[in-house]
Amino acid sequence: MPALAVVGAQWGDEGKGKIVDFLAPEHDWVVRYQGGANAGHTIVVGGRKSVLHLIPSGILAPSPRCAIASGVVADPIALLEEVAFLESLGVAVRGRLFVAPACHLVLPHHKAIDRAAEAARGGTPIGTTGRGIGPAYEDRAARRGVRAGDVLDAERFRARARDAHAAGNRVLAGVYGAEPLSDAALDPALDAAERLAPFVADVGSLARGALDRGERILLEGAQGTLLDLDCGTYPYVTSSNTTAAGAAPSVGIAPWAIGRVLAVYKAYATRVGAGPFPTEMSGDESERLVAAGVEFGATTGRKRRVGWFDGPAARYAARVNGATEIAVTKLDVLDEWERILVCVAYEIDGRRTDEFPADARSLAACRPVYEEWPGWREPTGGARRVADLPARARAYVERLTALSGAPLGVVSVGSERDATFRIA
């Protein structure tokens, strides 16, 4: 059976983790294919909130096995803390979680360089999380990274890690004029990484074998499409490929093995960090939406920037990913709004376009062209099928679906697992 890729179709924080958790019981495997501990997938089950940064969201379902693929950069300390957290909740992790040998490790110097580089940008920061993700991907591309599989040879692993630590210190001191890290600062990461050895397995081989047996695989992305290194609003992007196309090489499967792509959209838009955001709200309206949606980052706690749904961006994301269906989340956040705006096009230098620009500078010059929709002013949180939604809420979802250009597959109307339902 072809794999299903679940991708974020905005600037992240769309509710991918919730959708993956909802779909996980239908799958035999859930594989995280990119990003690092800069992601934060929040799942609420029975009033209990779990925030996962590295382990696939499917781990909370009892049946699927889970894997972290080679396209992920994993902080060994954070990963073990997550394992301990899940086990404290009674979730079985050992024997169900596998880490690809080619998964690169985030070490202390990556975090220090991340913070130093962001500080050096002065008034034009990217808005990174400071978790060392970008520098770890830089080392990966430069072929000097340390990988999870290295821990299987302890002596070689420690030598490679200490070489990387020394090289990182040279960058800190020579490029940024920052204080080098002590040798002792590396020790906790070394100890944690070596404790990951029982989790290391050939994820590509496991995934290919599962596909050959007709098992069902769900591929989980971390950040959103508009933060993709190649397709996003560069340079205000993450350091990996977030789209469905990036999943196959990361996992080690053929591109044609991905038969379905579910693109996840919030019923409005949010963004964390710097970069153009055409539909961004301001003032009291912004504060109202932040409060209603509890728009604070699960990883950093930073307040998110908020705005209206962006149709051209939505259509672009659906096309880039080859979306076969979409999910709309957090519809309930808009329940009390008297009027709701939807961006259907842009104006650039007096010209109207419904295309998403190819570069961040052009996007920053875009002015949104809005449609105004009447709010439904009725609760949607109890809906468990489309027919349960107020008529105006149904019409709004239908408009978002039309703007995306892909059929509607899933709707979410609350934080709890059971506040999510399929269309068919």
Active site residue 165: no
Q: Which residues pair with 342 in a beta bridge?
A: 309, 371
Rounded CA-CA distance 55/78 in Å is 10
> What is the 3-class SS of the chain, one letter each residue?
CCEEEEEECCCCCCCHHHHHHHHHHHCCEEEECCECCCCCEEEEECCEEEEECCCCHHHHCCCCEEEECCCEEECHHHHHHHHHHHHHCCCCCCCCEEECCCCEECCHHHHHHHHHHHHHCCCCCCCCCCCCHHHHHHHHHCCCCCEHHHHHCHHHHHHHHHHHHHHHHHHHHHHHCCCCCCHHHHHHHHHHHHCCHHHECCHHHHHHHHHHCCCCEEEEEEEEHHHCCCCCCCCCCCCCCCCHHHHHHHHCCCHHHEEEEEEEEECCEEECCCCCCCCECCHHHHHHHHHHHCCECCCCCCECEEECEEHHHHHHHHHHHCCCEEEEECHHHHCCCCEEEEEEEEEECCEEECCCCCCHHHHHCCEEEEEEEECCCCCCCCCCCHHHCCHHHHHHHHHHHHHHCCCEEEEECCCEHHHEEECC
Phi and psi based region of residue 263 (left: phi greater than 0; alpha: psi -120 to 50; beta: remaining): beta
Catalytic residue among 21, 27, 28, 41: 41
Catalytic residue among 13, 21, 75, 228: 13
Rounded CA-CA distance 340/359 in Å is 28
Rounded CA-CA distance 1/280 in Å is 41
Active site residue 41: yes
Catalytic sites, residue numbers: 13, 41
